[in-house]
Amino acid sequence: MKTIDRLALAGGQPAVSNKLTVPPWPQTGPDDERAVVEALRAGDLTSLSSGGSVERLEVAWAHWLGCAHCVAVSNGTAALKLALAALDIGDGDEVIVPALSFIASALAPLHVGARPVFIDIDPITFNLDVGSIEEKITHRTKAIMAVHLHGLTADMAAILHIAKCYNLRIIEDAAQAHGASYQGRNAGTIGDIGVFSLNASKNLPTCGEGGLITTNDPALAERLGMLRQFGERLRRGERRLYEHVDYGWNDKLSAVQAAYTLSRLPRFGAEIARRAENVSAFLGRLKGLPGLIVPGAPVGYEHAWHILRFRVDAAAAGLDSISSSSLRMAVVRALRAEGVPVGPYQTLPLPAQPLFAASKRDQMSRSGRDMATTPFEATQFPVCCAAIENSFTIQRSHLSPDAAPLMTAYADAFEKVFWHHREQISKIAATMSFTPPWQSGILQ
């Protein structure tokens, strides 16, 4: 095997041949193109057209998930905001949010005038640490934002229990977890409201932006329908009365976007199965490589594998003199040189984002809202900080069902870096040091 002779970093041949291209995601098939053109030709352009693609997507997604209602909206961030608003969460309220997530999980509470209260994450699942929730609950706490990060659901039994004890609502941020499940229940059907993104990068994409909100509560579904539509009461099949009964937004989904996703839905289950096969073959080869901790799903969880996050553990590799973050830097460089597009997903805990820095807090209070969060302290979020320092991710390139050959080559690259050339990698790591942005003072 000549490709393992030398690291690509040291002038060797990359493990991932440049003849292997990353299959596109999302891949648009002829049926999807036809569906979009048909929507255009039928004049199915707004979400109002009765029996149009927006309504059909709502029915189809609710059916696919096994829940009672689905309301389609303009994107996942708007979906989170509408979910909070429909649950009457607003000025002065607090929402528990995990420190590791996409920014939208923290922006949505701000959009309705509520304050995100951050908690640390679990080191194995990277989801919110359910043991830290109760200490953050105050008389203002109204909801838990249960983010299913990377495609793995949060610990829903514990979250349901806490929510019941303290009378809190649960919003599932399932933007990365279409098709994931927890003890046989689909992500997005377990809490009060589930939220999905149809952004082109997600597991169930549209050809642009979109979002889906799910609930089993008919009153919430009706309210969500009004909130996305100028707070307007619309009666199906009846004349429009322009009657605005609620404080709403314009967050409707375009019919063309709905037609595209609807066209993909029949093959969604097969895509999930193929992706799970590809990922488990890939991870199976990486298990046991010294110093590498591969992602997994605890018993009872079905992972949607939206993002693959790998942890690096220098001590487990027998490299006591170097830090895991130095080793992570060295392996990321080496893997990239081998042709594996590894990188970070989130370089800061959410509470360390400049948005929450002192100056912005003042701005927010000037807007008349008391949304000040406590200043960020890394010691409050040790697990999240360690995850950012010591892990790296693969995104998007593994999502296509046709990614198997590519992932075989990725596995070759991991073996080369973590096994065949581990001594050289540890020498490179010894020359590298990582100062997290929250320590270097660049956040102020």
Ligand X SMILES: *Cc1c(COP(=O)(O)O)cnc(C)c1O
Please report how the helices 255-286 and 404-415 are oriented relative to each other, as an axis angle in degrees rounded to 10.
40
CB of 428 to ligand X, least distance (A): 32
Q: What is the rounded CA–CA span in Å between residue 359 and residue 368?
A: 15
DSSP string across 335-369: HHHHT--EE-S-SS-GGGSGGGSHHHHHHHHHTT-
- Of 75 and 186, the one with the shorter C-beta distance to ligand X is 75
Question: Which residues between 318 and 337 bind ligand X (CB under 6 A)?
Answer: none
Single out the segment in contact with ligand X by CB under 6 A; choices: 100-108, 120-128, 212-220, 434-442.
Answer: 100-108
Single out the segment in contact with ligand X by CB under 6 A; choices: 92-100, 102-110, 376-384, 391-399.
Answer: 102-110
Q: Between 198 and 237, how does the x/- string for binding to ligand X read (CB under 6 A)?
A: -x---------x-x--------------------------
Question: Which residues between 49 and 88 bind ligand X (CB under 6 A)?
Answer: 75-77
Secondary structure of residue 308 in the 3-state scheme: strand
By CB under 6 A, residue 175 contacts ligand X = yes
By CB under 6 A, residue 176 contacts ligand X = yes
> Helices marked H in 198-254 — which ranges?
218-227
- Of 203 and 215, the one with the shorter C-beta distance to ligand X is 203
DSSP string across 124-181: TT-SB-GGGTGGG--TTEEEEEEE-GGG----HHHHHHHHHHHT-EEEEE-TT-TT-E
CB of 209 to ligand X, least distance (A): 6
Note the Cα 287 to chain centre separation in Å: 24
Single out the segment in contact with ligand X by CB under 6 A; choices: 172-180, 216-224, 328-336, 366-374.
Answer: 172-180
Q: Which residue is nearest to ligand X (CB)?
A: 76
Structure letter (DSSP) for residue 380: G
Q: What is the rounded CA–CA span in Å between residue 389 and residue 434?
A: 8
CB of 154 to ligand X, least distance (A): 11
CB of 174 to ligand X, least distance (A): 8
- Of 149 and 413, the one with the shorter C-beta distance to ligand X is 149
- Of 44 and 251, the one with the shorter C-beta distance to ligand X is 251
- Of 213 and 327, the one with the shorter C-beta distance to ligand X is 213
Other Cβ atoms within 10 Å of 358 Cβ, number? 11
Q: Report whether 417 contacts 425 (CB < 8 A).
A: yes
Q: Between 129 and 168, how does the x/- string for binding to ligand X read (CB under 6 A)?
A: ------------------x---------------------
Secondary structure of residue 33 in the 3-state scheme: helix
- Of 206 and 325, the one with the shorter C-beta distance to ligand X is 206
Residue type, 399: L
Q: What is the rounded CA–CA span in Å between residue 253 and residue 57?
A: 10
| Number of residues lying near ligand X (CB under 6 A) | 15
Q: What is the rounded CA–CA span in Å between residue 194 and residue 385?
A: 27
Helices and strands (H and E) in the chain: how many: 13, 14
- Of 9 and 86, the one with the shorter C-beta distance to ligand X is 86
CB of 322 to ligand X, least distance (A): 32
Single out the segment in contact with ligand X by CB under 6 A; choices: 87-95, 171-179, 370-378, 427-435.
Answer: 171-179
CB of 71 to ligand X, least distance (A): 14
Ramachandran quadrant class, 318 (left: phi over 0; alpha: psi -120 to 50; beta: rest): left
Which of 122, 173, 251, 412 contacts ligand X by CB under 6 A? 173
Which of 9, 89, 104, 224 contacts ligand X by CB under 6 A? 104
Note the Cα 78 to chain centre separation in Å: 15
For residue 141, which phi and psi values (nearest 5 degrees)? -70, 130
CB of 96 to ligand X, least distance (A): 15
CB of 125 to ligand X, least distance (A): 14
- Of 77 and 373, the one with the shorter C-beta distance to ligand X is 77
If you search the block for the tokens 């992570």, which residue do you land on? Answer: 328
Structure letter (DSSP) for residue 264: H
Structure token pair of residue 251: 């967050």
- Of 175 and 227, the one with the shorter C-beta distance to ligand X is 175
Question: Which residues between 342 and 401 bind ligand X (CB under 6 A)?
Answer: none
Which of 3, 47, 101, 278 contacts ligand X by CB under 6 A? 101
Single out the segment in contact with ligand X by CB under 6 A; choices: 99-107, 232-240, 318-326, 379-387.
Answer: 99-107
Note the Cα 113 to chain centre separation in Å: 23
CB of 73 to ligand X, least distance (A): 9
> Helices marked H in 391-432 — which ranges?
404-415, 422-430
CA dihedral 198, 202, 207, 210 (to 10 degrees): 20
Chain residues binding ligand X by CB under 6 A are 75-77, 101-102, 104-105, 147, 173, 175-176, 197, 199, 209, 211
